[in-house]
């Protein structure tokens, strides 16, 4: 399904939560394409799609979806670091993951552990960056 057809099926006005799900799924696809192709433009598209999803998936309206999407933004910031080793992406990654973890810790053990693993990756990257 192309982005255009997905957007036609789930317009924001008609099905806001479905539209947010489509945006989140697009972000995941764009991140995967970025990793496979090492093309930064896909990371930009992924970030836009994640941000779009958060327009409907707010912390209040859909806390678990909000946390997953916010965590996705954290992983995207880590992807940016992995691409260019610019440590300025690491604080953003940490902040997103910590925000997501607050919600995950309220009932999703697996994703809480995932957040902890990402925070450990960020810590290791910060230590590596400090040595250079």
Domains of the chain: 3-131 (1.25.40)
**Residue 59: phi, psi to the nearest 5?**
-60, -35
Using an 8 Å Cβ cutoff, are 118 and 75 in contact? yes
**Residue 87: phi, psi to the nearest 5?**
-65, -10
The pLDDT tens digits of the residues spanning 114-127 come to 999 999 999 999 99
The pLDDT tens digits of the residues spanning 3-32 come to 554 445 678 989 999 999 999 999 999 999
Q: What is the pTM of this model?
A: 0.90
**Nearest one of 36, 1, 37 to 21, comparing CA atoms:** 1
Using an 8 Å Cβ cutoff, are 73 and 50 in contact? yes
End-to-end C-alpha distance for the chain, whole angstroms: 44
């Amino acid at each position: 399904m192309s982005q255009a057809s997905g957007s036609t099926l789930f317009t924001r006005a008609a099905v806001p939560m479905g539209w947010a799900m489509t945006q989140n799924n697009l972000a995941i696809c764009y991140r995967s394409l970025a990793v496979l192709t090492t093309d930064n433009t896909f990371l930009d598209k992924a970030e836009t799609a994640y941000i779009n999803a958060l327009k409907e998936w707010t912390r209040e309206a859909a806390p678990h979806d909000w946390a997953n999407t916010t965590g996705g933004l954290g992983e995207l910031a880590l992807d940016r670091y992995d691409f260019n080793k610019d440590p300025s992406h690491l604080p953003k990654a940490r902040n997103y993951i910590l925000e997501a973890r607050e919600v995950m810790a309220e009932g999703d053990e697996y994703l809480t552990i995932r957040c902890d693993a990402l925070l450990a990756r960020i810590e290791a990257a910060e230590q590596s960056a400090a040595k250079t």
